[in-house]
Structure formats: structure tokens, C-alpha cells
């Protein structure tokens, strides 16, 4: 390829500072260094965590930045030390790295590799610049761009036949929700589940509960427009907390004779996390925190757990990315996993601020942004 070994000038949506619209700018992307992979991003979707980073996370160390962490693309070139990935491979960047060698990677219990979060640490030494300034790559992926550079442990190689404009969703929302049900909650056949929040992550959690054989899946959201899609993905009951004056945990307890077996919080709100826990049945109920927030502490009465409930959480659905993402792509190709139902809009990267606005207003599930072909 003519670009190998050279700086690539291309377009990206740059987040210059908190709370400001993204700006389409020309950026310079350095050739991959040791253990790095330069990827042409073909499709990238907007996830709620990108909005969290732009509007709510008050840490200025993350700016200026290229946001985006749910994407798929094609490897343009690789740096020294990269052997498992080659130019032309179709890949999904990972915001949780997997080294396959540490004691966490060797355990089937977790995806918290010792270097899992290394990409998320702000650094002055990033491979992408704009107007002479280094840009942070959000979550170590920074995908709202035509080209990005990621560490080799943050790349999953996928089926060359996979449609990138669909499977990009596997890079975050689908695995996060589906895995939270299947891997973290370990939903059991015949069980009763409740999913709080019906964005892409919550809908994927519904899909995971359904795949695990749950008998009853109660979908909870204050926006009733979300119920239709939840039904398509397997939800059996629908509750809008605004329709009830009593606490939602009481409503669910009455509906289920004491509480649900599994609950999943997919909002990122500490009050909802508590409600989800309190909606679980005593004795064996399991509640999983899936939604992302770093702003507030979460609290609950100790009796909740003393009486036999388990409160846990996961990131990326507990999936080890380099191993699981290719399998999830295969599941989609084999028609065992739904993705198309999650894509409500398609836009060019240039219209990313419209996608962000729609997500803010709860008007979309996923908008997939495409980069121009060149
Ligand atoms: C997040 C977790 C923190 C890094 C970016 C992605 N998960 C879901 O959006
Ligand atoms: Zn995400």
C-alpha cells in the first residue's frame, strides 16, 4: 500500500474540549510503532459512553481527543513485533486488551487482563496529531476517524466476509449487554429477568437473557417507545416506572412473587443500580451493574446481600475480546445473533454531531457512521 511507513493525512471528528460539538478536522496519523496496528476505520457507531466522556466526565486530561470505541475496519499496516495481524485483515478494535498470558487472562472467570485498561490512560505521546497538538484516543481506540492506531493486544481479527457496517456494534454495546446476561449474571433457563434501560446495551442484555433461556424478561424504561424493539429481542413484560407511584422494586416484586432471579442495570445511574438490586429475589437473586458512571458512589442496605442477593458488575460483558469478538461475529454470520435490529440510523462521519444529538434525545438505538472510501 502506498501509505505504508508514511504519515497519513485524513479526516477525523475531533473533540477539542468538554461540552463542545465535535469538529471535522484534517489529522496526521503516524505509522504504527512497535506492537501497534494502523487501521482504516470503515464503520463506527456512537455509544452512550462517548457522550459521557464529552459531556459528563469532567477530567480535562482526556482532551483534545478522538472519541469512539465501537467500530470495525481494515488493517492498513502493522509495526514491528506484530505477527498475528496483517495488512488487509478485517478487525474490530478493543477497549479492553487481552494479553492471553497474565493470571487474569488464564482464568476463565474474568476479562480483567493486567493490561486491560492501558489504552485508557491519557498520554502525551499519541500517534495522532491535529494542528500541532497530540490527540488522545478515547479508550485506546479513538474510532471517530478515517484512520486510527491501536495496540496489537487491542485488536480482534474477524471473518473476512463480515459486513463491517453491522459487526462494528460487536465492539461495545452488543458484547457489553449480551455478555452481562450470559457471562456475568449467568442467566439460567426458565428464570425471570429484569433489564433496566433499553438502549443498545439493555436491548443486547434482553437478547442475552433470551438466548440463555429465560422464561420471563421484564423490560423497564421510562421511554415506552423502546418497548417494541425489546419485544422483538425477547422481552415478555414491559414496565414504565412513570406509570407507577410505588418503587419499581415493589412493582417487580408483586409481578414476580418476590422478585426476579436476575436483574441488569443498563443505564449508568446509581439510583437505578440500587433499584435493580432491590428488585432481585432474596436467597439467590443476582444483580449486575452494566451501565457506566464514575461520578457517584452507589449504596444499598447490607441486608440486601445478607439475605442472599449477589451484586456484581462487568465491562464488555466479561468477554475476553480477542477470543470472543471473532466468535460473536461468527454468531451473527450464522444468524444466531441479531445486530440489524439495533441500527436505527446510518450517516456519514461528517454528520456525527447529528448522531450525538439523536442519542442525547433518546431518538436512536445505534447510528452507524461511515467514513468516505478512498
Ligand atoms: C465503556 C467502558 C469504558 C471504556 C469505554 C467503553 N463501556 C461501554 O461503553
Ligand atoms: Zn460503549
pLDDT for residue 288 is more than 90: yes
Model pLDDT for residues 235-265, shown as the tens digit of each residue = 999 999 999 999 999 999 999 999 999 999 9
pLDDT for residue 59 is more than 90: no
CA distance 301 to 246: 19
**CA-wise closest residue to 178 among 157, 160, 200:** 200
Percent of the chain with pLDDT over 90: 95
Q: Residue whose CA is closest, atom 5 of ligand 1?
A: 139
Average pLDDT over residues 221-226: 96
Class of domain 177-315: alpha beta
Q: How far is the CA of 253 from the centre of ligand 1 (A)?
A: 31
Which residue(s) pair with 192 in the sheet? 216
The alpha helices in the chain, defined as continuous H runs, are 48-51, 103-106, 164-167, 173-179, 200-211, 227-232, 248-256, 270-278, 302-306, 321-333, 352-360
Is 319 near ligand 1, meaning CB less than 6 Å away?
no
Is 176 near ligand 1, meaning CB less than 6 Å away?
yes
Mutation pick for ligand 1 pocket among 171, 176, 267 (CB with most ligand atoms within 8 Å): 176
pLDDT for residue 374 is more than 60: no
Is 47 near ligand 1, meaning CB less than 6 Å away?
yes
Task: Name the band, by pLDDT with cuts 50, 70 and 90, for residue 61.
Answer: confident
CATH 3.90.180.10 domain locations along the chain: 8-171+339-370
Report yes or no: 78 and 35 within 8 Å, Cβ to Cβ: no
| Strand ranges of the sheet holding 128-130, from the earlier edge strand across to the other edge | 8-14, 23-29, 128-130, 133-134
Strand-strand pairing, 310-313 and 286-289: parallel
Q: What is the mean pLDDT of the chain?
A: 97
Model pLDDT for residues 32-51, shown as the tens digit of each residue = 999 999 999 999 999 999 99
Count CB atoms within 10 A of the CB of residue 99: 18
SS3 209: helix
Q: How far is the CA of 161 from the centre of ligand 1 (A)?
A: 27
pTM tops 0.95: yes
CA distance 188 to 211: 10
Nearest atom of ligand 1 to the alpha carbon of 316: 7
Count CB atoms within 10 A of the CB of residue 26: 11
Element containing residue 45 per DSSP (H, E):
strand 36-45
Q: Residue whose CA is closest, atom 6 of ligand 1?
A: 49
Q: How far is the CA of 50 from the centre of ligand 2 (A)?
A: 7
Residue linked to cell 445505534:
366
**DSSP 8-class letter at 100:** S
SS3 296: coil
Mutation pick for ligand 1 pocket among 46, 292, 359 (CB with most ligand atoms within 8 Å): 292
Q: Residue whose CA is closest, atom 9 of ligand 1?
A: 49
* pLDDT reported for residue 60: 80
Q: Residue whose CA is closest, atom 3 of ligand 1?
A: 139
CA distance 226 to 335: 23
CA distance 287 to 202: 14
SS3 216: strand
Model pLDDT for residues 167-191, shown as the tens digit of each residue = 999 999 999 999 999 999 999 999 9
Please give the CATH number for the structural domain made up of 8-171+339-370. 3.90.180.10
Count CB atoms within 10 A of the CB of residue 7: 13
Q: How far is the CA of 139 from the centre of ligand 1 (A)?
A: 7
CATH 3.40.50.720 domain locations along the chain: 177-315
* pLDDT reported for residue 295: 83
CA distance 328 to 334: 10
Angstrom CA distances, 107 to 48, 74, 114, 318, stand at 30, 30, 12, 12
Is 309 near ligand 1, meaning CB less than 6 Å away?
no
* pLDDT reported for residue 373: 56
Amino acid at each position: 500500500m502506498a501509505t505504508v511507513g508514511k504519515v497519513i493525512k485524513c479526516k477525523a471528528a475531533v473533540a477539542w474540549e468538554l461540552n463542545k460539538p465535535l469538529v471535522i478536522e484534517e489529522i496526521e496519523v503516524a505509522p504504527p510503532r512497535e506492537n501497534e496496528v494502523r487501521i482504516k476505520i470503515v464503520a463506527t457507531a456512537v455509544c452512550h459512553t462517548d457522550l459521557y466522556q464529552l459531556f459528563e466526565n469532567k477530567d480535562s486530561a482526556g482532551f483534545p481527543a478522538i472519541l469512539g470505541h465501537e467500530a470495525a475496519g481494515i488493517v492498513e499496516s502493522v509495526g514491528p513485533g506484530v505477527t498475528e495481524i496483517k495488512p488487509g485483515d478485517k478487525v474490530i478494535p478493543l477497549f479492553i486488551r487481552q494479553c492471553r498470558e497474565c493470571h487474569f487472562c488464564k482464568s476463565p472467570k474474568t476479562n480483567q487482563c493486567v493490561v486491560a485498561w492501558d489504552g485508557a490512560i491519557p498520554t502525551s505521546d499519541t500517534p495522532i496529531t491535529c494542528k500541532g497538538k497530540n490527540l488522545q484516543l478515547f479508550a485506546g481506540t479513538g474510532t471517530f476517524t478515517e484512520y486510527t492506531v491501536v495496540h496489537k493486544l487491542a485488536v480482534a481479527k474477524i471473518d473476512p466476509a463480515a459486513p463491517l457496517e453491522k459487526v462494528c456494534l460487536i465492539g461495545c454495546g452488543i458484547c457489553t449487554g449480551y455478555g452481562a446476561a450470559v457471562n456475568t449474571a449467568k442467566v439460567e433457563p426458565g428464570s425471570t429477568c429484569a433489564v433496566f434501560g433499553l438502549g443498545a446495551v439493555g436491548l443486547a442484555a434482553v437478547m442475552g437473557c433470551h438466548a440463555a433461556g429465560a422464561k420471563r424478561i421484564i423490560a423497564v424504561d421510562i421511554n415506552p417507545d423502546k418497548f417494541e424493539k425489546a419485544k422483538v429481542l425477547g422481552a415478555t413484560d414491559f414496565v414504565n416506572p412513570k406509570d407507577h407511584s410505588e418503587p419499581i422494586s415493589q412493582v417487580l416484586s408483586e409481578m414476580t412473587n418476590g422478585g426476579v432471579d436476575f436483574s441488569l442495570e443498563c443505564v449508568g445511574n446509581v439510583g437505578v443500580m440500587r433499584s435493580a438490586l432491590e428488585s432481585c429475589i432474596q436467597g439467590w437473586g443476582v444483580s449486575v451493574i452494566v451501565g457506566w458512571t464514575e461520578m457517584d458512589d452507589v449504596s444499598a442496605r447490607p441486608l440486601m446481600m445478607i439475605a442472599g442477593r449477589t451484586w456484581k458488575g462487568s465491562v464488555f460483558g466479561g468477554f475476553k475480546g480477542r477470543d470472543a469478538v471473532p466468535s460473536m461475529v461468527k454468531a451473527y454470520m450464522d444468524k444466531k445473533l441479531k445486530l440489524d435490529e439495533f441500527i436505527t440510523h446510518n450517516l456519514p462521519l461528517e454528520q456525527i454531531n447529528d448522531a450525538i444529538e439523536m442519542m442525547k434525545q433518546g431518538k436512536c438505538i445505534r447510528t452507524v457512521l461511515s467514513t468516505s472510501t478512498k
